[in-house]
Amino acid sequence: MSDNKNTVKGVDLKKKYKKQGPSKEIWGRLRKNKGAVVGFVIISAIILMSILSGFIYDYETEIINQNIQERLQSPSAEHWFGTDELGRDIFARIVYGSRTSLSIGFVTVAFALVVGGTFGAIAGYFGGRIDNIIMRLMDIFLAIPGTLFAITIVAALGTSTINLVIALSISSVPRFARILRSSVMVVRDVEFIEAAKAIGANNWRIITQHVIPNSLAPVIVQTTLTVATIILTIAGLSFLGLGVSAPQPEWGAMLSSARTYMREYAYMTLFPGLAIMITILSLNLLGDGLRDALDPRLK
């Protein structure tokens, strides 16, 4: 043994057995899940593609501009995914359409997370009558199917991206409220919360700095899965004509306009459908991987 008590045969024991931080442990478990890694890589590529699409393509001339002379062309070297009934390049519209689907999905989930998380944290921390009032209100919204609720709001307020975000956000709030409430009810009675109360910390400080940060694991998982659900709902509403307005590219709207030509020009529905499927699949794979990585019972 070496003279240094912390080394054995030149190996630094402190470095070798140094306890990893929680984030490193989670990342290590996530990397072992091949499905989660595949999902993370795919969704990262889609997000990067959506960010760069505004620099690659000009919206006015390449995305919505009609070119009847090149309409309904099959996939080729010039048009990788072919052209639609108005001569627009389908690949360019799918790439640009990823901005619409992802931006609406992330904005909707962010709003629902903030509002629903706030209600859930208050209900779970205080309990009693406050908890009962908030949860019964959430039950009222949960009793209405999310897609039907979104259709009702869009039909009442009119078809626009803002109204679509409002409709999907409101219908998603109860999910996050219930999940965060359950997590907060577990955390609120642990020792460090009691210690914070003992030193005189107010409720707002305890909730924001201690309770919520230690209750986010299931919320992170729910966030990825809800984004996938929102993207699918957007596509469904756009397919019905209640989502994103033309000529703005959106995968569901592209499917809707292509159904008339589906028999002779199957590629017009194939590629937008694949874009929806791959995006949702990658988000679900990532969500499942995060659920396993964040589950303390799997350590």
Hey, what domains does the chain have and what are their CATH numbers? Answer: 32-59+81-298 (1.10.3720.10)
Q: How far apart (Å, rounded) are the C-alpha atoms in residues 229 and 280? A: 8
CA angle 107/108/113 to nearest 5° reads 100
Find out whether 13 and 19 touch, Cβ atoms under 8 Å. Answer: no
Q: Which residues pair with 89 in a beta bridge?
A: 83
Residue segments in the chain with a per-residue pLDDT below the cut of 70: 1-23, 26, 295-299
pTM (two decimals): 0.79
For 48, the 3-state DSSP assignment is: helix
pLDDT of residue 16: 46
Q: How far apart (Å, rounded) are the C-alpha atoms in residues 225 and 229? A: 6
Q: Which residue has the tokens 């999905």?
A: 105
Q: How far apart (Å, rounded) are the C-alpha atoms in residues 161 and 169? A: 12
pLDDT of residue 274: 92
pLDDT of residue 166: 86
* Cis peptide bond prior to 247, omega within 30° of 0: yes
pLDDT of residue 80: 87
**Phi/psi at 223 (5° precision):** -60, -50
Closest alpha carbon to 95 in 40, 44, 54? 54
> How many CA atoms does the CB half-sphere of 24 hold within 13 Å?
4
The DSSP code for 201 is -
Q: Is 256 left (phi over 0), alpha (psi -120 to 50) or beta?
A: alpha
Residue 24 Cα distances to 31, 285, 288, 293, 294, angstroms: 10, 20, 18, 11, 11
Q: How many residues does the chain have?
A: 299
CA angle 71/76/79 to nearest 5° reads 55
Q: How far apart (Å, rounded) are the C-alpha atoms in residues 88 and 70? A: 8
Query: What's the token pair of residue 179?
Result: 């999940």
